[in-house]
Amino acid sequence: MQITIDDKSGFCFGVVNAIRISEEELGKDNIACLGDIVHNSREVDRLKEQGLRIINHDELPEWAGKKVLIRAHGEPPSTYQVAKQLNVEIVDATCPIVLKLQDRIKKSYYEMNELNGQVVIYGKEGHAEVIALMGQTKGTAILITGVKDIDKIDFSMPVRLYSQTTKDPAKYAEIGELILTRMRNVNGINADFKQFNTICGQMAGRAPNLQLFAKEHKVIVFVGGDKSSNAVALFSVCKTTNPSSYFVSDASGLQEEWFEGIDDVGISGATSTPTWLMEEVAEAIKNMTQD
């Protein structure tokens, strides 16, 4: 059995950085993380075993005078204000790409206030990154989760369109084209519309690379967390490209019949999937398929 782990899969830079910072801090003192540090329960459990506490916003007062980590997804300005009031020491591990996006959205918020326009964000409702992005506009941005939501926009007014960093580039482009078309139907060619390329380059490259990887192997096992929207999106790429693709959270989800008569398996994962977990799945497949 030939088992290959996709060398372009696994943690993105932002997650690697957040986990590195958390482990460094755990070596010094107690620290809590505001929400799951990564959307992968196995990795969260590993860090919990090292002493990392996972807390929600309601538990912040219990950490007055102590350290709390902001994960790669970032937080809205209100979280920093509350932390300051409580004398909570923030250790900020927000992904630099997300930080830059937050700043751009905040500037567009003030610009649109002057022009009586709208900031529009394409993203997943309730996602931690999106909550932080919405917070840059004091919750006034228009959130669209897909084409079905674009009627929330007033097409007679200026629009500044942004995307959550982990969304699908093709779908984002389609949404932008539809909005621009609708605005030009109302305002003509002078429609005041700007769409910004805010999808992470590392994320944008995952789908085409994954398509190639899925074509190269007879069976694909995709390892991802149940809470990860990135995992769901990337697995969809696998399944569309190679129907013999299967999703597991860890080795316990493997089924022997997937590998009957198969001598080649590819293993890939989401931006929230640790390499050690993919290696664990590879070892389990090897043991499962040994004569």
Distance (Å) of CA 58 to CA 61, 65, 69, 79, 92: 7, 16, 15, 11, 19
**What confidence score (pLDDT) does residue 257 get?**
93
Q: What is the pLDDT of residue 290?
A: 82
* Angle, CA of 205, 209 and 212, to the nearest 5°: 155
**Exactly one of 23, 25, 129, 257 is catalytic; which is it?**
129
The pLDDT score that the predictor gives to residue 166 is 86
Could you give all domains of the chain from N- to C-terminal order, each with its CATH number?
2-9+202-289 (3.40.1010.20), 13-95 (3.40.50.11270), 97-164+166-195 (3.40.1010.20)
Predicted local distance difference test score (pLDDT) of residue 60:
94
Q: Reduce the DSSP state of residue 243 to 3 states and report it.
A: coil
Residue among 138, 174, 140, 134 at smallest CA distance from 157: 140
Quick check: 274 and 37 in contact, CB under 8 A?
no
| H helix or E strand, kind and range, residue 222 | strand 219-223
Which residues are within 8 A (CB) of 110 and not within 5 positions of it... i.e. 6 or more apart? none
pLDDT at 198: 94
pLDDT, block means (10 residues), the chain with 291 residues: 92 89 88 90 90 94 94 95 96 95 97 96 94 97 96 97 91 96 93 94 84 96 86 90 95 93 93 92 92 63
129 is known as an active-site residue: yes
